């Protein structure tokens, strides 16, 4: 079987790694600050390494599930990175699968530079929530050539119920940014609509009675309002700092394409302000409280 490496055992990565182990793949992991996932996975049979280079030397496929572009670049091209390890192992046929949400321009640059060392770099960002990572029901939005995807499909299928091939390397991250722009855009719109409504005498409950079951209903709406109505903070655990990062990446992509993207900028700025105000660790549905509080309004029960 393919020897798998996994770097980034956070809310999503831990569940994905568990599914790889459960399918019988030999798994190598690398720890960070939080030791719990590493210790639990090694207890189940995974092996631990201390550096990306060491992982590259022993694995055929390495999955990355990291916070953003700076961490990806460091893990891949740093002095003790995956590229160095692959070189030291004699240029082995390594595939790196970036499941993070990153900058498409960086993704394409890494793919070009790594190919010189015989390393294949593709993007497969995720759709879904941590519970779906645990159950193996994520969506993988893949940017890759056909042959690489054919090799990876059985492996990705251990944690993804749906694999969507959207184009060559870089297309996955582009589509993921567009997807997250829609989600974060709705989060911003819901937050402002609730605040305006509350000021005008429309409670969140009344708001929901009109939207739920209508054409404006959606899975994102349901988890967002699970927080708004039930105060269930874990209904949609996606931090505002990540929302800001993703919307910032989208604006940067638009600018690289010489597009104005005024709506994207406005959405980015709302999340940027929340992070600047020290609210970055709160989750996206909590933006509704932040926006309301700026106007002296409370949406809570």
pLDDT digits (tens, 9 = 90+) for 232-279: 999 999 999 999 999 999 999 999 999 999 999 999 999 999 999 999
Measure the CA angle with vertex 37, ends 236 and 226; round to 5°: 10
- Do 180 and 241 share a structural domain? yes
User: With pLDDT > 70 as the criterion, what percentage of the chain qualifies?
Assistant: 99
In a domain, 250, yes or no: yes
Token pair 């638009």 in the structure block, residue: 254
Residue from 87, 176, 236, 244 carrying the catalytic annotation: 176
Per the structure, how many domains does the chain have? 2
Residue 225 structure tokens:
């309002």
Q: Do 132 and 280 reside in the same domain of the chain?
A: no
Query: Do residues 159 and 260 both lie within one domain?
Result: no
Instruction: Give the count of beta carbons closer than 10 Å to the beta carbon of residue 119.
Output: 23
Q: Report pLDDT digits (tens) over 76-95.
A: 999 999 999 998 887 668 99
Q: Is 258 left (phi over 0), alpha (psi -120 to 50) or beta?
A: left
CATH assignment at residue 276: 1.10.1040.10
Q: Would you say residue 301 lies in a domain?
A: no
Tell me the DSSP string of 18-32.
Answer: HHHHHTT--EEEE--
What is the overall mean pLDDT for the chain? 96
Residue that terminates a domain, selected from 115, 136, 168: 168
pLDDT of residue 31: 81
Residue located via tokens 């030397």? 57
- Do residue 290 and residue 259 come from a single domain? yes
Question: Is residue 299 in some structural domain?
Answer: no
**Range of 282's domain?**
174-294
Per the listing, tokens 């690489």 go with 148
Say yes or no: 39 and 121 in one domain: yes
206-228 pLDDT, tens digit each: 999 999 999 999 999 999 999 99
- 109: domain CATH number is 3.40.50.720
144 & 191 share domain: no
209: helix, strand or coil? helix
Determine the 3-state secondary structure of 218 from DSSP: coil
Domain boundary among 124, 148, 168: 168
**pLDDT for the residue numbered 235:** 92
280 lies in the same domain as 190: yes
Catalytic residue list contains 176:
yes
Same domain, 84 and 139: yes
Q: Which residues contact 258 (CB under 8 A, 6 or more apart)?
A: none
| pTM reported for the whole predicted model | 0.93
Question: Which band of pLDDT confidence, cut at 50, 70 and 90, is reported for residue 14?
Answer: very high
């Amino acid at each position: 079987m393919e020897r798998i490496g996994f770097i980034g055992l956070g809310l999503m990565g831990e569940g994905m790694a568990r599914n790889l182990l459960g399918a019988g793949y030999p798994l190598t992991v690398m720890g960070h600050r939080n030791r719990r996932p590493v210790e639990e996975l090694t207890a189940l049979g995974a092996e631990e390494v201390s550096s990306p280079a060491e992982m590259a030397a022993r694995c055929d496929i390495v999955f990355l599930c990291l916070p953003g572009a700076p961490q990806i670049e460091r893990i891949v091209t740093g002095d003790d990175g995956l590229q160095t390890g692959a070189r030291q192992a004699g240029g082995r046929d390594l595939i790196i699968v970036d499941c993070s949400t990153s900058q498409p321009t960086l993704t394409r640059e890494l793919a070009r530079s790594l190919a010189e060392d015989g390393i294949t770099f593709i993007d497969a960002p995720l759709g879904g929530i941590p519970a779906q990572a645990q159950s193996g029901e994520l969506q993988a939005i893949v940017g890759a050539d056909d042959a690489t995807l054919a090799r990876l499909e059985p492996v990705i299928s251990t944690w993804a119920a749906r694999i969507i091939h959207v184009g060559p390397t870089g297309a996955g991250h582009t589509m993921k940014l567009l997807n997250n722009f829609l989600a974060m855009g709705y989060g911003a719109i819901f937050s402002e609509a609730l605040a305006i409504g509350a000021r005008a005498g429309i409670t969140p409950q009344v708001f929901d009675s009109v939207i739920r079951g209508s054409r404006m209903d959606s899975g994102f709406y349901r988890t967002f309002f699970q927080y708004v109505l039930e105060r269930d903070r874990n209904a949609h655990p996606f931090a505002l700092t990540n929302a800001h990062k993703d919307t910032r990446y989208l604006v940067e992509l638009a600018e690289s394409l010489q597009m104005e993207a005024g709506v994207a900028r406005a959405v980015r700025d709302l999340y940027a302000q929340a992070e600047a105000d020290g609210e970055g660790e709160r989750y996206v549905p909590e933006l509704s409280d932040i926006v309301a509080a700026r106007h002296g309004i409370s949406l809570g029960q």
